[in-house]
Amino acid sequence: MFSGEEIDPHREASSQQNTVRQSIYEDENISNPFASEGRSDGAWETQEHDGHNDESGGIGGGLHSSDGVQASSESQNTHAGATEAAGANPPKPAPVLKFTVSHVVDRSKRAPGFTFDVATNLPGYKMRKYSGVERSQIEFERLETHLRATYPECLVPTLGPGTTVSKYVPDFQNERLVVLLLQQWLHRVATHPIFQRDYELRQFVEAPFAFSPSLALSSAAAAAGGSGLSITAQGSGAGGGGGLFSWGRPRHPRLVRSANPTPFEHHLELTSDNLEVFQKNIADARRWHGRLARTRARLSVDLKDVGTKLVSVGVVDHNAQLGRSFKRLGKCYFHLGACAFTQSNLEGSRPIAVEDIYTLAGDNVQKTMNNRQLIFTEHQVAQRQLERKRQAVAVLRASSNISTDQAQETLAEFNAAQAEADGKRQRAERVDKVLAADLRAFEYYRESDIRAMFSALGREQLQIERQALGELKAALAFVGTSSKSSDIGSTNNNNSNNTNNGTSHGHGGGAAM
């Protein structure tokens, strides 16, 4: 039993949420952190390409600007001033990439499939609208794994499982919950200023057959500057064997502490400590929600059994009024059993799903913060290697008996080391900016999701309790009316008996006279 506000998978994010998310990334000015690097692997299209593609046609007039993430305020002001000075066309619309999940297909499979529609004005896409794109849960997990491996400095939203195994929730409600979580994940990936322009995300939409980024994954990671970075891409809970409604205790990675932390590193250490406490408590809450769902399910069965027995007593009882009271109470217990079953559905569905996802999300945050330290370590190693190559070049220049081939080889090694060091330096310079914005977005998502989950749960529980209270009041009124009717009937019987007795005495006296 879900309210329409809670479970509607096609509901757009509110303008307030989009405004907050937009301001988070605008404050950090990371609308396109790779634009200045000139990446040629296709994983990113630079902002300069946007104007050409938007002139050929877009959907900016058909979608609200809040559906996407705006460019930075500084770049917007610069662009506006240039267009005013040149008297050119008005500024281009904000980038839009919008997913709408339709329904679940292939329900018989362990990893189901989903169909969704896409609308976009981003460059590189062959069309502006795609309808009926079908992808399996495995392909969604491949996309998540690709994003984690390609952008280790970013917080990738945690993908929910394609199926749930809660026996306390009907299948159709499980499917609606899965669609809701998938819609939420796609929306957050599509509105991220870095992920929305990923080449493999575009292939995920446009691939005519199965989506598999495994071949492009290594090249994309290498082009990102992570050739030596040892990072394990963490998949979703469903792919890792944990999944929703699994009562095992997950392992939480800890942040490696720095000997002389900077202010931002100190902030990361505090965030890591808070997340560790949060993960422990949220895992316990998930476990107790499952236990509460099982308890309510057993209570539902017991209440219905009591109702059956009361109805049986009412059927065979020789007192008609009392029999009707028993049957009415039996129906009341049936209704209370249905309410308890609905409550077990509520406790065993979305609360556990949200708590399980954020337990896994905490692990991903810890790993991403550890990836930051690995990125800085890589930068230091690259600088040391560059310095050694520079010394080798200095020795080469000081020597007079070095062959031409050896000189060219040494210079080529120096140029390669310098290019690698520049890539590591650029990545190290932007990692704090990107991670800070993603952490703010994560905190905002965490607060809004948990608030929405408990608000919806409280509203539904209150509605169920009101229904149960109304049923109890109606049953009490019926039993009270039956009791009064029985008292009136017995009084009338006594009066008629007394009247009959008086009449018989009168006739007997007259006969004696």
Cα 294–chain centre separation: 24
Look at residues 152, 146, 222, 150 and name the one whose alpha carbon lies nearest to residue 368: 152
How are beta strands 129-136 and 113-120 bridged, if at all?
A: antiparallel
Residue position matching structure tokens 């069965």: 301
The whole-number pLDDT of residue 446 equals 94
Helix (H) or strand (E) holding 422: helix 404-512
Look at residues 84, 25, 93 and name the one whose alpha carbon lies nearest to residue 54: 93
> How far is the CA of 268 from the CAs of 273, 362, 379, 424, 439, in angstroms?
9, 13, 19, 21, 9
DSSP string, 211-230: ---HHHHHHHHHHTT-SS--
Q: What's the CA gap between 108 and 147, in Å, rounded? A: 29
Structure pTM?
0.71
SS3 371: helix
CA angle 405, 406, 410 (to 5 degrees): 120
pLDDT per residue of the chain (513 residues) written in tens, 0 to 9: 444 444 444 444 455 556 666 566 666 555 544 433 433 333 333 333 333 333 333 333 333 333 333 333 433 443 444 444 444 556 677 888 999 998 888 655 567 889 999 999 998 999 999 999 999 888 999 999 999 999 988 999 999 876 655 565 666 677 888 888 999 999 999 999 999 999 999 999 999 888 988 654 443 344 444 434 444 444 444 444 334 433 344 455 667 777 778 888 889 999 999 999 999 999 999 999 989 999 999 999 999 999 999 999 999 988 888 889 999 999 999 999 999 999 998 888 889 889 999 999 999 999 999 888 888 888 889 999 899 888 888 887 777 777 778 888 888 888 898 898 898 888 888 888 999 999 999 999 999 999 999 999 999 999 999 999 999 999 888 888 866 665 555 555 555 555 555 544 454 444 444
Which residues have C-beta within 8 Å of that of residue 89, sequence separation ≥ 6?
A: 83
The whole-number pLDDT of residue 161 equals 74
CA angle 216, 221, 372 (to 5 degrees): 155
Look at residues 468, 485, 74 and name the one whose alpha carbon lies nearest to residue 296: 468
Count of alpha carbons within 13 angstroms of residue 74, beta-carbon side: 8
Q: Is 5 exposed, middle or buried (0-12, 13-18, 19+ CB in 10 A)?
A: exposed
How many C-beta atoms surround the C-beta of residue 35 within 10 A? 16
The whole-number pLDDT of residue 58 equals 33
Q: Is 135 exposed, middle or buried (0-12, 13-18, 19+ CB in 10 A)?
A: buried
The whole-number pLDDT of residue 511 equals 45
Q: Is 200 exposed, middle or buried (0-12, 13-18, 19+ CB in 10 A)?
A: buried
Which residues have C-beta within 8 Å of that of residue 201, sequence separation ≥ 6?
A: 143, 147, 189, 190, 195
Neighbour order of strands in the sheet with 129-136: 97-105, 113-120, 129-136
Q: What's the CA gap between 289 and 60, in Å, rounded? A: 44
Q: What's the CA gap between 294 and 43, in Å, rounded? A: 47
The whole-number pLDDT of residue 398 equals 79
How are beta strands 97-105 and 129-136 bridged, if at all?
A: unpaired
The whole-number pLDDT of residue 46 equals 34
The whole-number pLDDT of residue 243 equals 41
Q: Do you know the residue count of the chain?
A: 513
The whole-number pLDDT of residue 447 equals 94
